[in-house]
Amino acid sequence: DLADYVIVFAASGEEETDRGARKKITAFLVDFNTPGFERLPGYRSVSNRGYHNFILNFDDCRVPTGSVLGQPHEGFDVANEWLGATRLQVAAICLGRARRAIQLATRWAVERRQFGSQIGKFQGVSFKLADMQMRYEAAELKTLQAAWKMDRGIMQDADAAMAKVLATEMCQFVTDEAVQVYGGMGLMEELPLERMWRDTRVDRIWDGTSEIQRHIISRAMLRPLGG
C-alpha cells in the first residue's frame, strides 16, 4: 500500500506452439496515478497478516510503450528472471520458520511434564521431533544446493521447484507437529506457533503452487525422453 508503481502481466496476443495456442504475455510497469487504474481494498488473509491485499481494477487504462518491461510479448522471460530466486527465497523463509518451530517444540518437550515425566521421553512426542528434524535437514540441503547452483549460473527451473516443494511442505508438517506437541497451548495467540502455522500455509500457493512445481520437475524428467 506504499508503492507508487505495480508490475502487471497482461495478455497481449496469442501464438501457436507445438502444444497448441498460448497467450502472449507482456510485463508493464504501471503508475498508480494512471487514468483508469484503481486500487481497491482486498480480502484479509489468514497468512502474513502484516501484508495488505488489494484488488487492482483496470477500466480503459492505457499505458505508454515506455511502460513495457523487457520486450513486448516476452513477459514470461521477464518473470523467469526472478521466479527462481523468489522460490528459493520462499524456501529459505520456510527453513528459518521451521527451525524456530523445532526449537520451541524441543524445549517444550523438555520443560512440559506429564505423568511424572518430561513429555519428550514419550515416543509419541520424541518420534515427532525426530521426523521434524529429518525433514528439515533434507529440505535445507536441497535449498542450499539450489542456491549454490544459482550463484554459479547453472540452476535449472527444476532445482528451484524441488527446493520450494520440499521446504514449504516440510514447514507445513513441522509447524503442525509443533502445535501438536504443545497441545492446546500451541493454538493460543499469545505464543508464536499459531502464527507460524498460519503463515506457512500460503507458501505452498504463491510463487507457483506445489502442483505447478511438481509439473516443472516432472517436465524436466520427461522432455529429454520425448515426453
Cα distance between residue 134 and residue 165, in whole Å: 16
In order of 35, 36, 148, 172, the CA distances from 60 in angstroms are 8, 6, 45, 42
Distance CA 60, CA 65 (A): 16
> Per residue in 55-110, pLDDT tens?
999 999 999 999 999 899 988 888 887 889 999 999 999 999 999 999 999 999 99
How many CA atoms lie less than 13 Å away from 131 in the CB half-sphere?
A: 16
Concatenating the DSSP letter of every residue in 10-76 gives EEEEEEEETTEEEEEEEEEEEETTSTTEEEEE----SS-TTSPPEEEEESS----GGGEESSTTBHH
User: What does DSSP assign to residue 115?
Assistant: T
Rounded distance between C-alpha atoms, residue 109 and residue 104, angstroms: 9
Backbone angles phi, psi at 21, to 5 degrees: -70, 140
Cα separation, 74 vs 63, whole angstroms: 17
Residue holding cell 517444550? Answer: 108
4: which 3 cell numbers? 507508487
Cα distance between residue 102 and residue 226, in whole Å: 43
Q: At what angle do helices 75-111 and 123-151 cross, to 10 degrees?
A: 150
Cell of 80: 523467469
The pLDDT score that the predictor gives to residue 15 is 82
Phi-psi region at 13: left, alpha or beta (left = phi > 0; alpha = psi -120 to 50): left
Residue ranges, comma separated, of all CATH 1.20.140.10 domains in the chain are 76-225
- Residue 38 forms beta bridges with which residues? 57
- Show the cell assigned to 55: 484488488
Splitting the chain (227 residues) into consecutive groups of 10 residues, what average pLDDT does each group show? 87 83 91 92 88 90 91 87 92 98 98 95 98 99 98 96 98 98 95 96 95 98 92
Return the pLDDT at 51: 83
Cβ-in-10-Å burial (0-12, 13-18, 19+) of 197 comes to buried
Q: What is the CATH number of domain 76-225?
A: 1.20.140.10
CA atoms within 13 A on the CB side of 8: 22
**pTM for this prediction:** 0.87
